[in-house]
Amino acid sequence: MTREYETVIGLEVHVELSTKTKIFCGCSCEFGGSPNTRICPVCLGMPGALPVLNKKVLEYAIAAGLATDCTISPVTVFDRKNYFYPDNPQNYQISQLYLPVCRDGGITIETGEEGAKSIRRIRIREIHMEEDAGKLFHDRKEGFSHIDHNRAGVPLLEIVSEPDMKNAEEVIAYLDRLRRILQHLGISDCKLQEGSLRVDVNLSVREAGDSRLGVRTEMKNLNSFRAVSAAIESERSRQIGLLQKGEAVEQQTRRWDDAKKESFVMRSKEDVRDYRYFPDPDLPPVSISPEFIESVCVSMGESYDEMVERFAKEYRLPQKELSYLTGEKALARLFEETVSICHKSGSVSNWLMGENLRLMRKEGMDAEDLRFSPEHLAQLIDIFEEGRINSTIAKEVFEVMFYEDISPEAYVEEKGLGLISDLSLLEETAAACMKDNPKSVQDYLSGKAKAIGFLVGQTMKAMGGKADPGAVKSVLEKLLSSL
Ligand code: ADP
Ligand code: MG
Ligand code: ZN
């Protein structure tokens, strides 16, 4: 008898907070910088150096908790998670185990195609604050490993879900929603590729209908949504394969190799007891007053969902556009600012999702990296819709604006790209084209209506592309019908 299996998935998501300074010292969190230039005795774990909590980190943690329906703890405590690794000079990581800052929240996800949507609540067990570790560089040629401590002490939130997800689609929906919510709060850029959002996938399988959880593995090193999906499929088959052979799944931490599309054992999974957690004696318990929570709540402003709802109402965008434009904070802002100048939400949305998205994909850019101003996009839309340039030229101008943020108005003027609206010149050029292409003219007159397309093309070419194809076509039709 073949058995049916179901998959159970819980996620541990780390997000790097975009505070100016580290969690327990005043060192800069800015990405990059020469190795070991953003360090001090505190983040290096020197004897006698004392950590002090960065208040912004607490604010951001509370904001994340409020945005995901968590309960905020009245008292939160930092614990030491003890382990040795060369990127961790303290020999412990300051994290939270017993009294995390937020608990018992959840977010609602939507999966499935239009018409067969399923809406589910994924519970969030807790959110805790912790510090990041340094980075190791292994120089295999020289046979040395180097350590850069710039990242040591950068604040992280760890968001732990309950094992409520059943497949890759739900996992992606959960991650995407979480990313949107946190990015909207402005507390993290949440980029998987750059490591400001890191996902560990805990996965087990069990026989369908069984209420007990199976033994799980934890998978790391997932740098894209695509990798997350592939890793889930691969691990699910691996575990089912083991069970079908009558073997047991071992509790392990595994590393996903995206090139090989396979995961490998890193270590047999350690237990929480192995870390000898204890409250950090250098950091007093933190009381969180209702007034403080209230002040964070006020500073958060419009929530992600409120923004989406407002966009839907104010701009009447179709679902797909709405989802895309609210997907990145920088894009939503660019859209709103442009619309506030030109008052053409449909056109702004079309340009952003059309030419703009095409070029962003080509360059591998995020909305954050866009360089053109809302004023310039509004200007381009205006001159195009006033009929001062045609659509081919508008796209060309958009591309120059995309890369160099030129003023479309000035650019069209300078390069002489404006449409030629001189009707007699148009007629003269069209007539000349008809004379040069008697075959097309014959074809048209003998009933092949499509033959006019060629004549339009030739006339456009003769006018250097600077005519309105619609106007050219009607001039040709007029001339042809008078033959
Ligand atoms: P640890 O403390 O070892 O990291 P936790 O109990 O905190 O383990 O769980 C970590 C993550 O693993 C959570 O997201 C949780 O939902 C998930 N998880 C726990 N048990 C299972 C299981 N049997 N199958 C799938 N996911 C699980
Ligand atoms: Mg854990
Ligand atoms: Zn420091």
pLDDT tens per residue, range 20-70 = 999 999 999 998 789 999 999 999 999 999 999 999 999 999 999 999 999
Q: Is 204 in the pocket of ligand 1 (CB under 6 A)?
A: yes
Q: Predicted confidence band at 425 (pLDDT cuts at 50, 70, 90)?
A: confident
| Token output for 442 | 């014959």
Task: State yes or no: pLDDT of 2 exceeds 70.
Answer: no
CB under 8 A, 24+ apart: contacts of 326-331? 326/180, 327/180, 328/183, 328/366, 328/367, 328/368, 329/183, 329/184, 329/186, 329/367, 329/368, 330/366, 330/367, 330/368, 330/370, 331/367, 331/370
Which ligand is nearest the CA of 37, by number? Answer: 3
Q: Is 366 in the pocket of ligand 1 (CB under 6 A)?
A: no
Q: Is 12 in the pocket of ligand 1 (CB under 6 A)?
A: yes
Q: How far is the CA of 395 from the centre of ligand 3 (A)?
A: 49
Mean pLDDT of 348-364: 96
The pLDDT, as a whole number, for residue 420 is: 76
Full-prediction pTM beyond 0.85?
yes
> CB of 216 within 8 A of CB of 203?
yes
Question: Which range (14-23, 118-127, 460-469) has the least confidence?
Answer: 460-469
> CB of 81 within 8 A of CB of 48?
no
The pLDDT, as a whole number, for residue 481 is: 85
- Which among 202, 213, 235 is the best mutation to test ligand 1's pocket, defined by most ligand atoms within 8 Å of the CB? 202
pLDDT tens per residue, range 234-281 = 999 999 999 999 999 999 999 999 999 999 998 886 788 889 999 999
pLDDT tens per residue, range 377-386 = 999 999 999 8
Question: Which range (100-104, 130-134, 266-270) has the least confidence?
Answer: 266-270
Taking all residues of the chain, what is their mean pLDDT, rounded to a whole number?
93
Q: Give the closest residue to 184 by CA, choosing from 319, 349, 300.
A: 300
Q: Is 10 in the pocket of ligand 1 (CB under 6 A)?
A: yes
Question: Which range (102-106, 111-115, 146-150, 260-264) has the least confidence?
Answer: 111-115
Q: Predicted confidence band at 478 (pLDDT cuts at 50, 70, 90)?
A: confident
Mean pLDDT of 216-227: 94
Which ligand is nearest the CA of 165, by number? Answer: 1
According to DSSP, the residues that pair with 135 across neighbouring strands are 148
Question: 96-129 burial string, b = 16+ CB within 10 Å, else e?
Answer: bbebbbbbebbbebebeeeeeeeebebebbbbbb
Mean pLDDT of 127-139: 95
Residue nearest to atom 1 of ligand 1 (CA): 272
Q: Is 239 in the pocket of ligand 1 (CB under 6 A)?
A: no
Residue that is written with structure tokens 């009447």 in the block: 316
Q: Is 6 in the pocket of ligand 1 (CB under 6 A)?
A: no
The pLDDT, as a whole number, for residue 427 is: 84
Helices marked H in 214-289: 225-244
pLDDT tens per residue, range 138-164 = 998 989 999 999 999 999 999 999 999
Q: Is 272 in the pocket of ligand 1 (CB under 6 A)?
A: yes
Contacting residues for 288 by C-beta, under 8 A, at least 6 apart? 58, 62, 72, 73, 74, 75, 76, 101
Which residue would you say has higher pLDDT here, 258 or 470?
Answer: 258
Q: How far is the CA of 190 from the centre of ligand 1 (A)?
A: 22
d(CA 456, CA 135): 62
Q: Is 161 in the pocket of ligand 1 (CB under 6 A)?
A: yes
d(CA 23, CA 131): 7
Atom of ligand 1 nearest to the CA of 271: 3
Beta-strand pair 217-222/252-257: parallel
The pLDDT, as a whole number, for residue 174 is: 98
Q: Give the closest residue to 182 by CA, choosing from 15, 12, 365, 367.
A: 15
pLDDT tens per residue, range 159-193 = 999 999 999 999 999 999 999 999 999 999 999 88
> CB of 419 within 8 A of CB of 463?
no
Q: How far is the CA of 12 from the centre of ligand 2 (A)?
A: 7
Q: How far is the CA of 60 from the centre of ligand 3 (A)?
A: 20
Residue nearest to atom 2 of ligand 1 (CA): 272
Task: State yes or no: pLDDT of 422 exceeds 80.
Answer: no
Q: How far is the CA of 87 from the centre of ligand 3 (A)?
A: 15
Task: State yes or no: pLDDT of 1 exceeds 60.
Answer: no
d(CA 471, CA 425): 12
Q: Is 270 in the pocket of ligand 1 (CB under 6 A)?
A: no
Q: How does DSSP assign 413-471, residue by residue?
A: HHHT-S----HHHHHHHHHHHHHH-HHHHHHHHTT-GGGHHHHHHHHHHHTTT-S-HHH
Run of H or E residues at 291:
helix 290-300
Q: Predicted confidence band at 105 (pLDDT cuts at 50, 70, 90)?
A: very high
Q: Is 160 in the pocket of ligand 1 (CB under 6 A)?
A: yes
According to DSSP, the residues that pair with 15 across neighbouring strands are 157, 197
Mean pLDDT of 368-384: 95
Interaxial angle between packed helices 438-445 and 452-462, expressed in degrees from 0 to 180 and rounded to the nearest 10: 140
Q: How many residues does the chain have?
A: 483
Question: Which range (26-30, 110-114, 346-350, 371-375) has the least confidence?
Answer: 110-114
